[in-house]
C-alpha cells in the first residue's frame, strides 16, 4: 500500500512553520509528500534556502503556479531540485512540469498544470496533460492543477478521471469540502487549502486585503510573520495493491502561539 500526502499552498514563514510542525509529528505515516510551495518565500516565489528547508522537513516534490518565478534567482537553481512549475508554460521556459519517482516498486508521475481562466494565457493544460500522460507511463499519476476558477478545475478533474490517480486543485487558498472519488476512480478536490496564517485574507495581513476592495487602490500584501494561529491544510490518501485509491481524508489542523513564542497544536482533524 502506498500512502501519499498532498499539502495545500505553503504561504510565507507561518506556512513553513506549520508544515514543519505537522511533518515532525506525522512524516512517518506516509511514503510521499508533495507540497505546493510557490508562495513559500514571503508569499511570493521560492528561494534556494527555503527550498532546502522544505526538503529537510520531509517534502519530496515542490509544485508551483503563477508565482513560481517571482524570485528571479530561481532560474539558477530550479533544475537542481525536485521543483515543478506548470507544464503548460511555453517551450523553453526554465524548469520542468512533471517528475517521475520510484517508490515501493511503483512509478509515480507527478504533474503540475495551471489553469487559464482569470490567469496567464498559457498553453492548453488539458492537451498538455494528454501528451505527458501518453508519453510517460506510470502506475500512479498525481496532478496539481493550479487554477482560479472552480469550474475549470472541476472540468479538468472529469477530463482526467480514470487516468489520473488524484487531482488536487490549488491557488485559491481556501480548502473546499468536495474531496471525493469521481465516477472512474480519480480522487479529486477543488482546492486542497492553504498552509499558513489563519486569521488572514488568503495568507496575507487582513488590512491590505480589505483596503484593496474598499479603496480600489493597489496595495502591497504582507505575510503576518508572528501570526497567533497558523494552519496546516492537505489531503492524505492511500493506494492499494490494485492501484486504486482506498482511503482518503482532508486535513485541516491548527497551531496556536503561546506566550513563550512556541506553537502548540490547538485542533486536529486526525
Residues identified as active-site: 67
Question: What is the CATH class of 2-267?
Answer: alpha beta
Q: Is the pLDDT reported for residue 270 higher than 70?
A: no
| pLDDT for position 218 | 87
Which tens digit of pLDDT belongs to each residue from 219-248? 889 999 889 999 999 999 999 999 999 999
Q: Cα dihedral sign for 98, 160, 269, 173?
A: positive
* Distance from the first to the final alpha carbon of the chain: 20
User: Is 12:43 a contact under the CB 8 Å cutoff?
Assistant: yes
- Mean pLDDT for 88-114 is 97
User: Is 7:34 a contact under the CB 8 Å cutoff?
Assistant: yes
| pLDDT for position 67 | 96
pTM, entire model: 0.96
Q: Residue 56, exposed/middle/buried by CB under 10 A (0-12, 13-18, 19+)? A: exposed
Cell numbers of 72, please?
Answer: 528571479
| pLDDT for position 84 | 98
- Mean pLDDT for 26-35 is 97
Which tens digit of pLDDT belongs to each residue from 171-220? 999 999 999 999 999 999 999 999 999 999 999 999 999 999 999 988 88
Q: Is the pLDDT reported for residue 7 higher than 70?
A: yes
Q: Residue 92, exposed/middle/buried by CB under 10 A (0-12, 13-18, 19+)? A: exposed
| pLDDT for position 259 | 86
4 Ramachandran zone, left/alpha/beta (phi>0; psi -120 to 50):
beta
User: Is 84:95 a contact under the CB 8 Å cutoff?
Assistant: yes
d(CA 206, CA 10) in angstroms, rounded, equals 18
Average pLDDT over the chain reads: 96
Which tens digit of pLDDT belongs to each residue from 31-43? 999 999 999 999 9
Q: Which of 129-143, 149-163, 200-214 has the lowest mean pLDDT?
A: 200-214
Q: Whose CA is closest to 22, among 227, 246, 195?
A: 195
| pLDDT for position 180 | 98
Q: Is the pLDDT reported for residue 266 higher than 90?
A: no
Which tens digit of pLDDT belongs to each residue from 13-23? 999 999 999 99
Residues sharing a CB contact under 8 Å with residue 82, sequence separation 6 or more, in sequence order: 55, 60, 61, 62, 99
d(CA 16, CA 62) in angstroms, rounded, equals 13
Percent of the chain with pLDDT over 70: 99
| pLDDT for position 219 | 87
Q: Is the pLDDT reported for residue 267 higher than 80?
A: no
**What band does 261 get if pLDDT is binned at 50, 70 and 90?**
confident
Amino acid at each position: 500500500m502506498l500512502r501519499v500526502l498532498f499539502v495545500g499552498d505553503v504561504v510565507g514563514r507561518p506556512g513553513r512553520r506549520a508544515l514543519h510542525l505537522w511533518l515532525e509529528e506525522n512524516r512517518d505515516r506516509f511514503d510521499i509528500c508533495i507540497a505546493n510551495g510557490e508562495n513559500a518565500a514571503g508569499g511570493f516565489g521560492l528561494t534556494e534556502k527555503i527550498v532546502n528547508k522544505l526538503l529537510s522537513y520531509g517534502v519530496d516534490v515542490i509544485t508551483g503556479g503563477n508565482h513560481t518565478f517571482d524570485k528571479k534567482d530561481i532560474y539558477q537553481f530550479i533544475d537542481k531540485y525536485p521543483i515543478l512549475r506548470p507544464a503548460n508554460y511555453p517551450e523553453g521556459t526554465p524548469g520542468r512540469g512533471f517528475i517521475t519517482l520510484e517508490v515501493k516498486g511503483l512509478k509515480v508521475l507527478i504533474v503540475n498544470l495551471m489553469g487559464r481562466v482569470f490567469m496567464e494565457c498559457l498553453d492548453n493544460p488539458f492537451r498538455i496533460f494528454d501528451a505527458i500522460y501518453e508519453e510517460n507511463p506510470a502506475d500512479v499519476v498525481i496532478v496539481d492543477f493550479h487554477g482560479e476558477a472552480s469550474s475549470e478545475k472541476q472540468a479538468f478533474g472529469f477530463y482526467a478521471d480514470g487516468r489520473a490517480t488524484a487531482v488536487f486543485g490549488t491557488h485559491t487558498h481556501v480548502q473546499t469540502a468536495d474531496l471525493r472519488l469521481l465516477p472512474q476512480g480519480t480522487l479529486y478536490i477543488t482546492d486542497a487549502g492553504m498552509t499558513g496564517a489563519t486569521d488572514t485574507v488568503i495568507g496575507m495581513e487582513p488590512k491590505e486585503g480589505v483596503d484593496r476592495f474598499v479603496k480600489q487602490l493597489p496595495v502591497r500584501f504582507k505575510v503576518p510573520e508572528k501570526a497567533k494561529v497558523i494552519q496546516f491544510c492537505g489531503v492524505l490518501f492511500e493506494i492499494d495493491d490494485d492501484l486504486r485509491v482506498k482511503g482518503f481524508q482532508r486535513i485541516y489542523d491548527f497551531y496556536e502561539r503561546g506566550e513563550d513564542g512556541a506553537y502548540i497544536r490547538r485542533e486536529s482533524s486526525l
